Structures are given as structure tokens and as C-alpha cells.
Amino acid sequence: MESENRRLRRQVVDLQCDNTYMRKITEMQDEIISLKQQIIDLKNENIRLSHLVSKTSKNKTSNQNNESSSDEEYYTADEGPDNIDRICQYCKQSFKYPSVLRRHLKLKNKCGNQYSKCFK
Ligand SMILES: [Zn+2]
């Protein structure tokens, strides 16, 4: 009877131990669930931020496009759409803008020397 009692008591201790483990596991599961929720929140935040970033970079590129197109408009309005003004008469290289061609002809290269010979 005594041994049976002791056995039962040990079983109770074991069960309490199990119970503690079970509680710990449940706590860990709660922790996991809250971490999963955090991950979801962070993912949403990440998506929101990447949207913001892509928006900003889109704005930047569209601004750059606007700038370059307005530059082009400025040059075409100023110099006219005449393509000849953009091609070097010496090396036949074509330039994006007439001003670049003028700069090319002012350089100390083969074309620049010929150009300054003709116009001095
Ligand atoms: Zn040239």
C-alpha cells in the first residue's frame, strides 16, 4: 500500500512536470503566433515602404525625363530641327545637339584645327 502510494505520488509529480512542459509549449506556441503576426505586420510595412520607394524613384525618373525632354525642346526651338547643324562636316560624326558640335569644333583635334583654319 505504501509503495503504491509512492508510485502514485511519483506519477503526480511526473504529470505536473508534463503539465509544466505543456504550459511551456503553449506559451511558446503563443509566442510563435505573435511572432507570425509580427512577420505579417513587417511584411505589410515592407510592401508599403517598397511602394513608397518605387513611387519616389518613378517620380525621380519622370523628373529626369522631363528635364531631358525640355532640354531637347530648348535646343530644337533655339537651333531649329535642321539636322545638318549637328553633323561635323570634317569627320561626319553626328551630335545630339548643335551646341555639342560647336564644342567639338572648338576642341584641339583634327576637326577643330580645320574649322579654325577656315574661319580665321
Ligand atoms: Zn569632327
Cross-strand bridge partners of residue 87: 94
pLDDT of residue 33: 94
Residue 88, SS3 per DSSP: coil
Cα 88 to middle of ligand 1, angstroms = 5
Q: Residue 86 gets which letter from DSSP?
A: G
Cα–Cα nearest to 87, from 55, 60, 111, 67: 111
Cross-strand bridge partners of residue 94: 87
Cα 16 to middle of ligand 1, angstroms = 93
Cα 102 to middle of ligand 1, angstroms = 10
Asked if 62 and 110 sit in the same domain, the reply is no
Asked if 96 and 65 sit in the same domain, the reply is no
Phi, psi dihedral angles at 7 (to 5 degrees): -60, -45
Domain interval for residue 87: 82-120
Please tell me the total count of domains within the chain: 2
Cα 113 to middle of ligand 1, angstroms = 10
Per-residue pLDDT of the chain (120 residues; tens, 9 = 90+): 678 999 999 999 999 999 999 999 999 999 999 999 999 999 999 999 998 888 877 766 555 555 444 454 444 444 445 566 889 988 998 998 889 999 998 888 889 988 888 765
Cα 78 to middle of ligand 1, angstroms = 22
Asked if 64 and 86 sit in the same domain, the reply is no
Cα 4 to middle of ligand 1, angstroms = 109
The total of other beta-carbon atoms located within 10 Å of residue 85's CB is: 15
